[in-house]
Structure 1
Amino acid sequence: MKRLVAPLILVLAAAPVAVPLAPLAAQQAPSGLGQVNAYLRAVTTMTADFAQTDRNGQTLTGQLTLKQPGKIRFQYQKGVPLLIVGDGKALTVIDYEVRQVQRWPIGNSPLGALLDPSKDLSKFGKVIPTDDPSILSVQARDPKRPEFGTITMIFKRDAVSPAGLQLYGWVALDSQNNRTSVKLSNQRYGVPVADSAFRWTDPRPRGRSGG
């Protein structure tokens, strides 16, 4: 099951992205946090393709589906018997190969920063300066709960996207220095997404429908 370690890290770990520092005058203004807050509150649904790379360079691809508040689904490429689903309360990792299910409160995952638009990033986030004015990078971390990891969300400025931002991806690092990066493409906002997308079939003996 070594090849499936990277997807598990995705929901349990997160990290600051390494970017070149810009001169002080060119650094992003603190108002960037407000813009990201506006983005998170403006997005109702989103679908995208994703490419997820772990610290060993292994890359998996798939389809991401998001519906606020709190619902997300990572459907991995054919041949990867793993599914990650957030149902609004918890994140569930379903491994169909070994018939295992693991579940965590969304608040215990760095992905909670993306899945709770009611949160104020100014209380637990900061802008990470970059040398590219078209990029806005925001790191979110609960200083009281470092074991929950850190997520650095990377946005591209795009006038036609919600709040003028396009979510490009994120980088994650856990307390064991397991690093995972996720890059998004083909983002579509405001598309119809049924709640059934966040249900799953329990592979354990005497299985039941999840969600």
Structure 2
Amino acid sequence: MKKIIATVLIAAGAGAAWADGLKSLENFMKSAHSGRAVFTQTVTSPPKDGQAVRAKTSSGTFEFQRPGRFRFSYQKPFEQLIVADGTSLWLFDADLNQVTQRAQTQALGSTPAALLASAPDLAALRADFALESVPDQDGLQWVQAVPKARDGQLKSVRVGFAGGQLAALDILDSFGQRSAIRFTGMQLNPELPAGTFTFKPPQGADVLRQ
């Protein structure tokens, strides 16, 4: 009986702590209209044919302005740029000198910034995602978001907060690939240059429109 009581008390205490994650997300949606940070992203693919797990790490800078604008500038190991300007989603691969343009409304579900940058408030998020607080891990409070539409590539996203500050995104896609993004030096509501979310294909680049 003591073990059962202890388990209930621990679960109740943990539930109260987990609820803070959802509250942190709500506060973030209310107060963070724009932001910038440095990020590190580790993409892990499921093993195939007995091979070891493969992981690729990249890094760069991230800016966003809600609703609907964000910019991921990958600097290492290869230069890539992802820009959402409110209408189109642009992907630029510097090595290939190739640009892919997609309608933003159709493409946002497959991007790691969609959850935080596109929705104007928590109510709008709830329209597209089932949200719940999950146990604290790695010193962060977590919220899990599962898309209500089951036909997309995004299976689930976990959003991590440290002291109410956005610190992490963990994305799992329908192919079992996991992308862990960690933010450092997050600045909320900075004055971002006017052209931050404007993209013009470089001269001579191949442009693919989807």
Unaligned runs of 5+ residues in structure 2 are 1-8, 45-53
Relative distance call for 1:206 and 1:73 in structure 2 (3 A) is: closer
Give how far 1:38 is off.
Answer: 2.7
2:160 corresponds to which of 154, 166, 185? 154
TM-score (norm 2): 0.73
Higher strand share: 2
Q: Percent identity?
A: 25
Larger Rg: 2
TM-score (norm 1): 0.72
SS at the partner of 1:39?
Answer: helix
Give how far 1:31 is off.
Answer: 6.8
What is the one-letter code of the residue matched to 1:95? D
Provide the residue aligned with 1:183 in structure 2. 182
Give how far 1:183 is off.
Answer: 0.3
Q: What is the RMSD computed on CA atoms of the aligned residues?
A: 2.8
Unaligned runs of 5+ residues in structure 1 are 1-21, 159-164
Relative distance call for 1:78 and 1:31 in structure 2 (3 A) is: closer
Relative distance call for 1:130 and 1:79 in structure 2 (3 A) is: closer
Paired with 2:108 and 2:75, the residues of 1 have a C-alpha distance of: 27
Structure of higher RCO (CA pairs closer than 8 Å, 6+ residues apart) = 1
Paired with 2:150 and 2:203, the residues of 1 have a C-alpha distance of: 32
Give how far 1:60 is off.
Answer: 1.1
Number of residue pairs matched by the alignment: 180
Consecutive aligned runs of 4 or more in structure 1 exceeding 6 Å deviation: none
SS at the partner of 1:129?
Answer: strand
Contact 1:153 1:170 (8 Å CA) reproduced = yes
Give how far 1:207 is off.
Answer: 7.4
Paired with 2:137 and 2:42, the residues of 1 have a C-alpha distance of: 23
Paired with 2:171 and 2:206, the residues of 1 have a C-alpha distance of: 32
Matching of residues 75-154 of structure 1 within 5 Å: 75-77=73-75, 80-104=78-102, 105=104, 106-109=107-110, 111-115=113-117, 116-120=119-123, 121-123=125-127, 124-131=129-136, 135-149=140-154, 150-154=156-160
Give how far 1:82 is off.
Answer: 1.0
Contact 1:33 1:122 (8 Å CA) reproduced = no
Q: Could you tell which deviates more after superposition, 42-51 or 197-206?
A: 197-206
Give how far 1:145 is off.
Answer: 3.3
